[in-house]
Amino acid sequence: MNDTSRPPRLARRLLERALPGDAREHVLGDLEEVFRRDCHTTGPVRARVRYWVKAVSFTTGFIAERWCEQSQRRSRASGPNPTGGRAMRFDVSWMDVKLALRMLIKYPGLTFVSTLGMAVAIAIGATLFSFSYSYLFPTLPLDEGDRIVGIENWDSTRNNQEHRSLHDFGTWRTELTSLRDVGAFRTVRRNLVLPGVPTEQVVVAEMTASGFSLARVPVMLGRPLLEADERKGGPAVVVIGHDVWQNRFGSSPAVIGKSIRLGAVEHDIVGVMPKGFAFPLNHSFWGPLRADPIDYERRQGPEIFMFARLAPGATREHAQAELTAIGLRAAEAFPETNERLRPLIVRFENFWADDITLGEVNFGLVLVSLLLVVVGVNVAILVYARTATRHGEIVVRTALGASRRRIVLQLFIEALVLSSVASVAGLLLTTKVLGVLDGFLTGLSSSGEFGGVPFWVDHRLSLGTMLYVAGLAILAAAIAGIIPALKATGRRIQSSLRDPGGTNAHLGRTWTALIVAEVAFSVAILPGSVFFAWQSIGQTASSPGFAADRFLTTRLLMDADLVPSARADAYAREFDARYEARVTDLIRRAASEPDVSAVTIASNHPGVEYTHFVEIEGATPSRRSTRGRQTRSIQVDAGFFEAFDVSILMGRAFRSSELNSAAARPRRDADGDGIQEGIVSSLSGVIVNRTFVRQFLSDGGVLGRRLRYVDNDERGTAAADGAAMRWHEIVGVVGDLPANPVFPGETEARVYHLIAPGQVYPSTLTVRLRSGDPAAFGPRLREIAVGLDPTLRLDQIVPLTEIYRRQQLGLHMGALAFALVALSVVLLSAAGIYALMSFTITRRQREIGIRAALGAHPRQLLASIFARALKQLALGIVAGVAASAVLDRLAEGDLMAGHATVLLPLVAMLMIVVGLAAAIGPARRGLRIQPTEALRDL
C-alpha cells in the first residue's frame, strides 16, 4: 500500500501544515533529497524513521520559532518589560514546551506506559469516529447532497422494512409534492459477456430515470436513462460508468450504440457517466427499472429501495407529514396489506446501514471517551506521583512569585505534550486500522447485497477526526495534568513555604482509596480482558487442518427474471428444474477437466456454516442453554467427504442412491438473488463430526441416536418447516472439517445432511485441484459455466483459503484490539499501583527514619510497612473479585467461561507482586536513612 521510495505521506502532510509558507518548498525538497540518500545508504525503513524524526523536529522547531517571533513582537508593542524576562509576560512559552519534552525523556517509563495507554484509547475513539462519520453519516458528495433522502415502508408487525413496495412507490411518485425526483432502484448481478474478454460478474443498478435527475450529474457521452426506457417490452438499454468505458472500451467516443451482453440479454449502450459517478451506491452499470405495479399483488414483486430529493423550501418534517397522510389513506383503502405499514423519510444511507442512529454512534463515542477517561485517571495517578516528587520545586516557584495559575498551566502543558505524543501515535495506529478495516469491508460488502462500499466513503483521516483527536488529547491532558496540578498546588502549599525541602504532603484516605480503587479496577476487568484476548487468539490461530490451498470455491447463482405474481409459481418450478440441471452439468464438465481431482456441492463453505440448536434424544438437557445444543449444520452431496479426504470414523458415509428426488425442496428466494437456507434433506439420516460426539454424546451410544432441530432462526426453515422438525438418525461419524490443530477446544460440532446437486439454492461448488494455484482455474471454470448457460453466475470465485482469511480478518482485528487494550490496562494498572505504593512509602521515609532513631527494629518497621501495603492490596482485591464475579454473572458466565478460579487468583497474585515490589525499594531507602538526618529535618 505504501510507496517505499517516497517519504511517509502523513509526515509530509504534517510538515506541509507546520512549515511557514516561505520555508515549505525548500525544506520539503531538502528533506526529500536526504530521504533518497538515506534510502540508498541505510534502506527505506530507516530512511522513513529518520524522515519522521526530522518531521517532528522541524514541526516543533518552527512552531517554537513562530512563538518566539510573536512574543518578541508583542513585547515590542507593549513597551519595556519590568521583570526583564521575555517568557514571563506570556501564559505559555516555548520554555514550558521544552520543559515538558524534557520531562518525557527524564521519565521514560512513565512516558512509555502513558503514551501506550492513551494512544490505544485514542486510536479506538478515532477509528470509531472516522468510520461512523465516513460510512454512516456522511454528507453525500452530490449537489445539495444533504437534501437527498431515502423512503422506506416500516412494517410494525415484523419490526422491519418492507422492500416489496411497488404499489406504494407508484402512489408516492405521483402524489408527493414536498419531494422531487422520487425514484427507486434494485441491485442485480449479471455476467458481462464481451467478445474476446474473459466473462466477469458485474453489479447492475436497475433504477428509475429519476435517479439521474436527482443526482444532478450530467452524462459524459450519450444520454441518461429516460422515463420511456422504463416501459415494459422496450429495447434493452444500459448506461455505463467511466471506469467501464475506460477499461472495456478503451475510452472510445464511439461506444454509444454498441451492445454488451448482460446475462442472456444484449443491451445497447446509450450513455457514459463521468468519472466518480457511482450513484446510488457504487454502481458502474445502470439499466431501467421495469417493474409495473399492475403485474403484482400488493406487497409482492421485487425488493426496491426508494429515494427522493426534498423540494425547494420543503423540510423533512413537511415531507414526513405528507407521506404519513398518504400512508394513512393507503391503510384505510388496503387494510389487509397496508394497515401495519408506516412510510418514513430516512437518511439516504439507511439502505446501506439501516437501524443505526446518530445517537447510538454518539453514545458509542461517549463510551470510548470514557475509556480514555479511565486511562487518563490512571495516567493522572502516575503524573501526580511524579508531581509530588517535584513538590520542592513548586514551593520555590510559588515563593518567587509564580501564581498558582501559572504553575497549573505549566503542568497542564506537560500533560498536553504527553497526550499530543500519544495522539500522534494513536493517529498512526488509526490509519493502519482504517486501512485494514477498509479492505475487510470491501471484501465483505462485495459479496453482500450491494456489491461494494458506497461511493461516499472516504477512509482517509478527515479534518473532523483530527479535531476529535485533538479534543481527546485536551481531555486526557486536562485529567492527567490539571487534577494533579490543582492537588499539588493546593492550600497546603502556603504552609510548605516554611519548609520547601520537606515532604509533608498530606497522605491518608485519598491515597488509600486510590490504591484500593486501582487494584479493584484491575482485578475486576483484567480476567475478562485476558480471557477474551486469549480466546480471540485461539480462534484466529487455527489452521483448517487440511490442504485448503488446493480448493477453489464459488457460489452458484442464476439470473431470475421479474415475473408477474400470476406466473410466479410456474416460473419458480421452471427455475428450480433449470438450476438443478445446470449445476449437475457443471459438476460433470468441471470433473472432466484434467487439473481437477474432485468436485463437490454443499449449501455453504465447509467451516462457514450456519449455527442451529438441536435436541438429542435421550441426552440430558444442556446446562448452559435452554434452547438446545449449539451446532453447525450443512447440506452436502455424496462426494463431499471424499473430496476433502475426511475419513469415516464410525458408521457409514452417505450413498447417492439414498436420495429421493421427489423429496421436499428447500424454499427459494423469489427473485433468485437472496439466500434461503434450509435444513431440509431428502434423507432423514445425518452424519455428525467427532467434536459433536465428544461434546454431546460422551455418555455412550452414537450410531442410531436421533436429533432434531429446535431453533427457529430467521434464516433457517427448521422449525417453520414441518419436515425439519422430524427426527434425524445418526448414521455415521466423520473427522473434524475444518479442524483446529492449534486450539482443539475451539473446533465446533457439525451435522451433515445429504442433498442432490442443485437441490439447494444457491449452492456452493468446491473444486479440488491436483496441483498449482487454485485461483488460476477460476477463469476456466467461469468459461465452462457461461458456455452452459450465460445466466449461470459464479459469485465470489476464490480459493478456499481466501474464505478463511476473510472470516478470520474480523476476529484478528478484534483480537488485536483486545490484546492492545488488555496490555495497556495491565501496564497502566501495574504502573499505577507501583507508583502509588512507591509514593506512599517514600512519603513515610522520614517517619521510618525517626522510628529507627527511636530504636525500632528494622524487622518491625518492615512488617508495619508491608502490613499496611498488604491491607490496601487485600482490600482492593476483595472489592475487585466481588465486582468481577458480579460482571461474570451478568454476562451469564461468558466473561471467564468457568475459568474464574484460575484467572482471579492469577490477577490477584500479579497485583500483590507488583504492589510489594513497589514497596521494597522505598522501604529499604527509608531504613538506610541515618537517624540523625531524620531528626535534623524535623
Chain residues that interact with another protein, rule: CB under 8 A: 23, 25-34, 36, 54, 57-58, 60-62, 64-65
Minimum gap (Å) between residue 419 Cβ and another protein: 22
Alpha carbon of residue 884 to chain centroid: 27
Residue among 19 and 238 whose Cβ is closer to another protein: 19
Q: Least distance to another protein from the beta carbon of 34, Å? A: 6
Q: How far is the CB of 534 from another protein (least distance, A)?
A: 44
Helices (H), 461-593: 463-477, 483-488, 492-496, 509-540, 568-591
- Rounded to whole angstroms, the Cα distance separating 888 from 681 reads 40
The answer to whether the beta carbons of residues 464 and 158 sit under 8 Å apart is no
Query: From the CB of 69, what's the least distance to another protein, in Å?
Result: 9
Whose CA is closest to 764, among 635, 592, 596, 589? 635
Give the total residue count for the chain.
Answer: 938
**Least Cβ distance, residue 59 to another protein (angstroms):** 8
Q: Least CB distance from residue 23 to another protein, whole Å?
A: 7
Closer to another protein by CB, 9 or 770: give it: 9
Cell of 252: 472510445
**Cell representation of residue 48:** 522513513
Rounded Cα distance, 907 and 521, in Å: 11
Q: Which is nearer to another protein, 29 or 235 (CB)?
A: 29
Nearer to another protein, 54 or 242 (CB): 54
CB distance 660 to 755 below 8 Å: no
Rounded to a whole number of angstroms, the minimum distance from the CB of residue 88 to another protein is 20
Residue 552, C-alpha cell as written in the block? 477453489
Q: How far is the CB of 114 from another protein (least distance, A)?
A: 25
Name which of 12 and 173 has its Cβ closer to another protein: 12
Cβ proximity to another protein, 62 vs 440, nearer residue: 62
CB burial of residue 81 (10 Å; 0-12, 13-18, 19+): exposed
Within a 10 A sphere around the Cβ of 120, how many other Cβ atoms?
Answer: 26
Helix or strand run (H / E) with residue 270:
strand 265-272
Characterise 291 by phi-psi region: left (phi > 0), alpha (psi -120 to 50), beta (else): beta
**Considering the complex, what minimum distance in angstroms separates the CB of residue 101 from another protein?**
13
Judge contact between 484 and 384, C-beta under 8 A.
yes
Least CB distance from residue 24 to another protein, whole Å?
9
Q: Cβ of 792: how many Cβ atoms within 10 Å?
A: 23
Please identify, using beta-carbon distances, which residue of 85 and 621 lies nearer to another protein.
Answer: 85
Q: C-beta of 60: minimal distance to another protein in Å?
A: 7
Could you tell me if 595 and 770 are in contact, meaning their C-beta atoms sit under 8 angstroms apart?
Answer: yes
Task: CB nearer to another protein: give 39 or 904.
Answer: 39
Task: Kindly tell me which of 28 and 916 has the beta carbon lying closer to another protein.
Answer: 28
Give dist(CA 44, CA 932) in Å, integer: 61
Angle 805-807-810 (CA atoms, 0-180°, nearest 5)?
100
310 DSSP β-pair partners: 179
What pairing do the DSSP bridges indicate for beta strands 200-207 and 285-288? parallel
Whichever of 26 and 770 has its CB closer to another protein, that residue is: 26
Q: How many Cα atoms sit within 13 Å of 471 on the Cβ side?
A: 12
Closest separation between CB of residue 185 and another protein, Å? 44
Cα 342 versus chain centre, distance: 32
Q: Which is nearer to another protein, 62 or 249 (CB)?
A: 62
Within 10 A of 91 (CB to CB), how many other CB atoms are there?
11
* Closest separation in Å from C-beta 26 to another protein: 4
What secondary structure letter does DSSP report for 737? Answer: S
- Closest approach of Cβ 81 to another protein, in Å? 16
Query: Is the CB of 66 or the CB of 573 nearer to another protein?
Result: 66
Tell me the residue type at 229: D
Q: How far is CA 370 from CA 367, 499, 518, 816, 820, in A?
A: 5, 40, 16, 20, 17
Q: Compare residues 5 and 625 and give the one whose CB is closer to another protein.
A: 5
First to last CA, the chain: 66
Q: How far is the CB of 7 from another protein (least distance, A)?
A: 8
Question: CB of residue 477 vs another protein: minimum separation in angstroms?
Answer: 24
Contact at 8 Å (CB) between 634 and 689? no
Kindly state the helix (H) or strand (E) to which residue 849 belongs, with its residue range: helix 845-853
Shortest distance, position 99 Cβ to another protein, whole Å: 18
Q: With helix as H, strand as E and coil as C, how does 140-189 read?
A: CCCCCHHHEEEEEEEECCCCEECCCCHHHHHHHHHHCCCEEEEEEEEEEE
Contact status, residue 419 vs residue 117, Cβ threshold 8 Å: no
Residues near 122 by Cβ (< 8 Å), separated by ≥ 6? 372, 422, 423, 425, 426, 427, 430, 469, 472, 473, 476
Nearer Cβ to another protein, position 38 or 303?
38
Q: Which residues contact 923 (CB under 8 A, 6 or more apart)?
A: 841, 848, 861, 862, 865, 866
DSSP symbol at 555:
E
In 605-709, DSSP assigns E strands to 610-616, 629-636, 648-651, 685-689, 706-709
**Residue 417 or 739 with smaller CB distance to another protein:** 417
Which of 12, 404 has the CB closer to another protein? 12
Is 29 or 335 the residue whose CB approaches another protein more closely? 29
Task: Name beta bridge partners: 271.
Answer: 222, 239
Distance from chain centroid for Cα 861: 54
The distance of closest approach from Cβ of residue 48 to another protein in the complex, given in angstroms and rounded to an integer, is 15
In the complex with another protein, the residue whose CB is nearer, 98 or 397, is 98
Residue 552 contacts residue 796 (beta carbons within 8 Å) = no
Partnered with residue 554 across adjacent β-strands are 765
